[in-house]
Amino acid sequence: MTLRVGIVSANWGAFAHLPAWRSLPGVEVTAICTSRPETAEAAANKFGIARPFWDAEALTADPEIDIVDCGTRPNIRYAMVLSALRKGKHVYNGIPFAANIDQARDLHKAWRASGKVAIVDAFSQWLPAHRLAKEMLDEGFLGQPFAATCSFNTSLFNKPNPHFPYNWFWQGGLGVSAMRNQGSHALHMLVHMFGEVEELVAHDSQLLKEWKFVDGNVIKPETNDFASAMLRMKNGMLIQLQVSWSATVPTGWTLEAFGSEGRFVANAPSFPTSRDTVLHAGKLATNRLEKIEIPERLLRTEGISIDAYSDPQPAYPMALSMASMVRAIGGEGASPDFEQAWQVERIQEALRRAVTERRWVRIEEIA
């Protein structure tokens, strides 16, 4: 049976999600949805998709669509994802999962009630270097895990481009910030790697008070662009997390962990990708970090027509995540699913409370 996908978004959805879906056997993207008839029809013609939609509610209700892929803004996605789940669709949802904890709770409950498969676009755990690091961790490479540091620093708005498609990040109330966006990707990786967070303390603030564009326009952002947190994990680890989308001369992505017997470090110069993310590791016995070569089995996957070297770079790890979703529709487990997304949203709410109330917050407080 062919699974039929409808994509909501002709930007990131068409650029990255579409080639990922098309790389999978037994899957066909049959519909694309934008906000207006002319843009929907143009996207359908450009990308060779049979059915244009300009009403997401109509797409989610269509009996000839099995999977709804929602890649729009988090405050807009909420109603779409709820509608899709209530109409019996499987869902691929963007990051952040929702605009706030109340919406996240609704989506989680709707998913549990639906019996459908639903995952989020936190595809970094499917990158070859990260998969290898997880294998090493599970095999005991670190010994007893002690601590980790994760930083995700980019420079999106230090020299803002007026044509950048995410300049709307300046607007408050839409569920975005450096911690909610980049932080969600980081937190998905951390809980995937190291398990549940027990408690945390945090700082969240705004570094750039103005975005000065080369065309002379100036925006005063309403969102925070820098955050740091200390996470105490249930396994006893202490993890330092820092994220910013206004970092001067940014270092990109780093995930470093050490334990009683070893250390590994995964790095990427910007958003982690299959090609650019490298892994170094070392054991106590040698006291030296060395580059770890990624095995071929993690760079290519049988049955998927793209690989770690294909462009656009996000498509390959997305395809692996989507493939897990397809298998789950057939009866296996999918990752990262809405359960993991709910776990991350509880952490996000704990971060918010920690900043507001200036205290350590236990995750069990967030129900």
The CA R_g of the chain, rounded to the nearest whole Å, is 20
287 CB neighbour count, 10 Å cutoff: 8
Task: Report d(CA 88, CA 341) in Å as an integer.
Answer: 20
For position 331, what pLDDT does the model report? Answer: 85
Chain CA centroid to CA 92, Å: 11
The strand pairing partners of 246, in sequence order, are 155
Compute CA distances 32 → 13, 50, 60, 318, whole Å. Answer: 9, 8, 11, 18
Domain ranges, ordered by start, for the chain: 3-116, 124-303+344-356
Class of domain 3-116: alpha beta
Residues of the chain with pLDDT under 50: none
Task: Report d(CA 319, CA 5) in Å as an integer.
Answer: 13
| Backbone torsions φ then ψ of 225, nearest 5 degrees | -120, 5
Which tens digits make up the pLDDT trace of 36-95?
999 999 999 999 999 999 999 999 999 999 999 998 999 999 999 999 999 999 999 999
For position 203, what pLDDT does the model report? Answer: 98
For position 87, what pLDDT does the model report? Answer: 97
124-303+344-356 is classed in which CATH architecture?
2-Layer Sandwich (3.30)
| The model's pTM | 0.96
For position 1, what pLDDT does the model report? Answer: 83
In the structure, how many helices (H) and strands (E) does the chain have?
11, 17
For 349-365, give the DSSP string.
HHHHHHHHHTS-EEGGG
For position 330, what pLDDT does the model report? Answer: 87
